[in-house]
A and B are shown apart, each in its own frame.
Chain A
Amino acid sequence: EIVLTQSPGTLSLSPGESATLSCRASQSVTSRYLAWYQQKPGQAPRLLMYVASNRASGIPDRFSGSGSGTDFTLTISRLEPEDFAVYYCQQYSSSPWTFGQGTKVEIK
Chain B
Amino acid sequence: EVQLVESGGGLVQPGGSLRLSCAASGFTFDDYAMHWVRQAPGKGLEWVSGISWKTGNTAYAGSVKGRFTISRDNAKNSLYLQMNSLRAEDTALYYCAKDICSYTGCDFFDYWGQGTLVTVSS
Contacts and interface: CB of A to CB of B under 8 A. Distances in A.
Given A44-B114, A88-B45, A1 B100 contact: no
Max chain A Cβ within 10 angstroms of own Cβ: one of B59, B61, B107, B110: B107
Interface residues of B, number: 20
Contacts of A39: 45
Interface in B82-122: 95, 100, 106-110, 112-115
B47 A44 contact: no
Interface in B15-66: 44-47, 50, 59-62
Contacts of A1: 62
Interface string A76-108: 000000000000101010011111111000000
A97 B107 contact: yes
A86 B102 CA distance: 28
Contacts of B60: 96
B108 A45 contact: no
Nearest to B113: A44
Nearest to A97: B47
Contacts of B114: 44
A13 interface: no
Nearest to A45: B112
Contacts of B115: 44
A92 B95 CA distance: 18
Contacts of B46: 99
B61 A90 contact: no
B98 to A, nearest CB: 10
Given A1-B62, A95-B59, A96-B59, A47 B47 contact: no
A90 B46 CA distance: 10
Interface of A: 1, 33, 35, 37, 39, 44-47, 50, 56-57, 88, 90, 92, 95-102
Interface of B: 44-47, 50, 59-62, 95, 100, 106-110, 112-115
The 3 nearest A-B residue pairs measured at CB = A44-B112, A92-B107, A35-B108
Given A33-B108, A45-B95, A96-B59, 8 more contacts: A44-B113, A47-B100, A56-B110, A90-B45, A95-B59, A97-B107, A102-B44, A102-B45
